[in-house]
Chain A
């Protein structure tokens, strides 16, 4: 896990640096009528960089003494996690094309079938009923417009 720790503190170091650069651009001193725009972010960034370096040093010291410690993702756990993440990302990307509810229906069906090995009947029932009820609840009852995508409006004419 130490490698991941190092990675995250490097990430924070990176974030702190780009915020620092931007706040210098905005100006971080006392302006005409109060602190300039970059004042608050500047000190945030300074603090962030300090913390990141200190954590980095701590982790590096422990790494040298004790090695890499446990794995970040336990053995065999990476697959289920990716099975959640990648189809979910695909669903979000698909939403831009066909709209959320349709993409969700496909996502539900895919996951239930591929990972859960659910029977076809249950799979089809759930992946049709759940998006339908959520569509009625959110789009019609609560009037919260959910994405329809490029082709969604034509595929589902209601």
Chain B
């Protein structure tokens, strides 16, 4: 424990270097802007800057990328509250009560409540990160290929079983992502897979291009479809609002704590900030007696989802650096960035690159802390970005996306892929095919296949290797249970319902 504290101090020393702080602030500002704009989401925004970041030292680069994420987490709320337009998918739940409160004449208070909740969620997330990361990393050192593969299966079955959308479609999304990852040259045998003689396909599909297309262009198509009326409420955040907000938030400790805990928990499982915010809103609504106030500007209705979203975002770092499993789509992109730097996320990272890991953890503390003040002070300015006519912003976003797509590998074909992924992203979103697991499968695809191959070789071709105690077995069992949960849980409910129905009939 004391050793960890020392490590954190070392990390702070790295994170507090002027260069790194400057980069963090730039990242935060970019992130808040990205959070405010539709079409440039957290995942997308990070993806576009990855080719730029590779010129920097690894620690600084990842600080920049993650600061964008923290900024986007804070920024998405601004447009949700002032414009009723969620700037990010995880800010949708904020529109339910944030916008009504703003319309009711208290936009400043809504903003302050939201940012305070974000800050609290962030603190909980980063505390969890700091204390649990070394423990989990130690534990994960015992993981062999079979365990790694099992954890990935657990990850994906959580999407299928607990995702909320059609399990079949989720499965199809995941498989599609894995297939996309497999296109190109097979590392082990050197053979070309699924290229059908087309030279352009030899390079395979890069996840950055897919993210920019699916999340970026797809989001733009969706935004454009709904029309371009961006009438916003102007708000200034004054000291009075801040004082009122602070007093108000103390009146709803349950919403704050419940939201943060739900968020941190959901951030560990992949899925990230978006499902966390919805879940927290739903839970909170159920547990407060004034349910009818929700949807009309209830303070708890803002506090819970915001705390959850930010808690999930920060705690998503934990499984990413310890196990190599990103806890949210944006974290998946950041992890991809890490891999480009040659840093393999996982337990070895703690051993071999301790300075990097602790520098990152320390910058999570600093970034979220700074971000809170930035967004509190400058919220109206960031909101003004949306006052720029959409007809001007939209083509600029497409332009920036094209730059991002090209810069990955200096290939024009990637920009065409981006367009195709954009149309696919639009189709998938409309037809309820979840995109997050698809992106995760694309990022993890090669790693998953490698782990599976190695495990099978160790097990001499028998799939039983994945069910070996002591570590792989419980993970796989959990994965199977969660995977089949959509079939299991209605069956359980039916079993419980029939006796009570019978007793009602007899009475």
Residues on A close to B: CB < 8 A? 1, 4-5, 8-9, 12, 15-16, 18-19, 22-23, 26, 30, 33-41, 44-45, 47-48, 51-52, 54-55, 58, 72-74, 77, 80-81, 83-85, 87-89, 91-92, 95-96, 100, 104, 107-108, 111-112, 115-118, 122, 126, 130-131, 134, 138, 142-147
Contacts and interface: CB of A to CB of B under 8 A. Distances in A.
Given A15-B176, A115-B391, A130-B399, A1 B188 contact: no
Interface of B is mostly: helix
Nearest to A87: B395
25 contacts: A12-B172, A19-B194, A39-B453, A40-B449, A44-B175, A47-B171, A51-B168, A51-B171, A55-B168, A72-B431, A81-B426, A88-B395, A88-B419, A91-B398, A92-B415, A95-B415, A107-B399, A108-B399, A112-B395, A118-B392, A134-B403, A142-B52, A143-B55, A144-B52, A146-B403
Contacts of A9: 172
B449 A92 contact: no
Contacts of A117: 391
Contacts, number: 174
B129 interface: no
A47 to B, nearest CB: 5
A89 B391 CA distance: 17
A152 B33 CA distance: 31
Nearest to A122: B392
A81 B189 contact: no
Contact of A41 (B169, B194, B220): B194
A23 B195 CA distance: 11
B391 A111 contact: yes
A104 B456 contact: no
Nearest to B418: A92
B302 interface: no
B168 A54 contact: yes
A100 B406 contact: yes
Contacts of B51: 144
B389 A118 contact: yes
B19 interface: no
Interface in B150-205: 166, 168-169, 171-172, 175-176, 178-179, 182, 186, 188-189, 191, 193-194, 196
Given A44-B179, A48-B172, A104 B225 contact: no
B433 interface: yes
B9 interface: no
Given A26-B191, A34-B456, A44-B175, A85 B419 contact: yes
| Top 5 closest pairs, chain A to chain B, by CB | A116-B391, A77-B225, A51-B172, A111-B395, A104-B399
Nearest to A52: B172
Contact of B406 (A4, A39, A89, A146): A146
Contact of B400 (A22, A47, A118, A134): A134
B457 interface: yes
Contact of A37 (B168, B189, B220): B189
A12 B431 contact: no
A34 B427 CA distance: 38
Contact of B431 (A8, A41, A111): A8
A36 B427 contact: no
A84 B394 contact: yes
B403 to A, nearest CB: 6
A131 to B, nearest CB: 8
Contacts of A112: 391-392, 395
B406 A15 contact: no
Given A92-B419, A95-B415, A41 B179 contact: yes
B37 interface: no
Interface in B30-65: 51-52, 55
Given A37-B186, A58-B168, A146-B407, A30 B431 contact: no
B180 to A, nearest CB: 9
B238 interface: no
Given A12-B176, A80-B228, A138-B407, 17 more contacts: A8-B433, A9-B172, A16-B175, A30-B461, A40-B449, A52-B172, A54-B168, A80-B227, A87-B395, A108-B392, A108-B399, A111-B391, A112-B395, A118-B392, A126-B392, A126-B396, A130-B396
A95 B394 CA distance: 18
Contacts of B179: 15, 19, 41, 44-45, 48
A35 B145 CA distance: 15
B173 to A, nearest CB: 9
A48 B395 contact: no
A16 B171 CA distance: 13
B423 interface: yes
A33 B396 CA distance: 51
Nearest to B458: A34
A48 B430 CA distance: 20
A30 B391 CA distance: 56
Contacts of B396: 108, 126, 130
